Chains A and B, each alone.
Chain A
């Protein structure tokens, strides 16, 4: 263990345990943070099983969210039902391609990207990865930051439902996909929150240490 290879000391290496909520440091073995009351664990070993549980629940909700209609629009006597992708295509046809792209990014690209990213991060922590921890940690931050924004489609449905109630002229009702989609977003947010990012750095430190020995 010479200076250059391990420039950083972690709380665990120093025989300490850190509170991830208020950043206070305690001697290893302390059960509960004396400052903010959070239960202390040096590394959350159950983290990955919770990540996968929420991940699976989120994915399970994502299918009905795309298969069932999100909106039911009635204009005069015509009733049309739109799924997420169908609604975006409709918007693009009506000459609003930018909004269509926003919706496709928020409701299709981001959720699918998030499922892939969380799955990859969780596997890389267990199996090791050649991708530097800096990049993986950056990816984790992006996933955590961007996850909430998928909720926008649910809010649009809520706004439209409240607003477009013009008797026969036009009315909009929510479809079952709205609930499924909201649940999917909430579950993936919980999945990302359950992930302990310290695991990314541990594994990387172990890998580089064994490279040095070899």
Chain B
């Protein structure tokens, strides 16, 4: 597309690749297809049927799993008659004393608080959209927050850490998995599926138009 052509198009109908700044006329791809940046291959639009409903259910399940994983033990250790069980909260709060306390706060945030916050925000923002209701107050800001939190949600890395820890102490003591470990393992899959179904452009578009319509109706 030539620059003079595209300059005449209403900017609201354009989409810019966030990675390389190439612009395109935004068009909903055919069912099952994805719009990919021709220059840097970043996925721009990837809608799926009923994605909203599926994402909400995935988020609700994640939320339940994280809450469960916090209270149930995830690993159990025994050696010479001594037995110990650790819950997620124990692991997160295991760094005590002095500057290591900072680490406890960071670990709690990365494996419990951020994944929970993302699930709650996603349900709050997408829930009304799925049921054809106007976007809830602050939806745009909150969705932006959920997006910003994405790289800091590290539940799946923690799950792999469990496996490494298991091997590390294998010769020191006997280890077995508790229910929370399997909850976390399930969470890893949920996170991957969630990212597959999420089409960010579609969410922004529906939030913008829902929001705009509502604002137009409200008295100035």
Contact = CB atoms under 8 A, between A and B. Distances in A.
B165 A156 contact: yes
A11 B11 CA distance: 10
A137 interface: yes
A116 interface: no
B141 A37 contact: yes
Interface stretch (A22-30, A55-63, A121-129, A206-214): A22-30
Interface in B133-190: 140-141, 143-144, 147, 151, 154, 157-158, 160-162, 164-165, 167-173, 175
Interface string A40-72: 000000000000000000000000000000000
Interface in A141-189: 141, 144, 147-149, 151-156, 158-167, 169-170, 172, 174, 176, 178-179, 182, 186, 189
A178 B106 CA distance: 12
Contacts of A10: 16, 20-23
A164 B77 contact: yes
A200 B40 CA distance: 11
A162 B174 CA distance: 15
Contacts of B87: 162
B213 interface: no
Contact of A152 (B7, B93, B164): B164
A100 B107 CA distance: 23
A25 B16 contact: yes
A158 B16 contact: no
Contacts of A170: 79, 82, 172-173
A155 B82 contact: no
A201 B39 contact: yes
A121 B13 CA distance: 33
B27 interface: no
A16 B14 contact: yes
A10 B162 CA distance: 45
Given A22-B200, A25-B11, A91-B168, A166 B144 contact: no
- A-B CB proximity, top 9 nearest: A18-B16, A155-B161, A166-B82, A161-B94, A162-B90, A162-B94, A162-B91, A162-B86, A25-B14
Given A23-B17, A152-B160, 14 more contacts: A9-B22, A35-B208, A36-B204, A99-B168, A137-B20, A147-B151, A155-B91, A159-B91, A159-B94, A164-B169, A166-B79, A166-B84, A179-B95, A179-B102
Interface of B: 1-3, 6-7, 11-12, 14-23, 38-40, 44, 75, 77, 79-84, 86-87, 90-95, 99-100, 102-103, 106-107, 110-111, 140-141, 143-144, 147, 151, 154, 157-158, 160-162, 164-165, 167-173, 175, 200-201, 204, 207-208
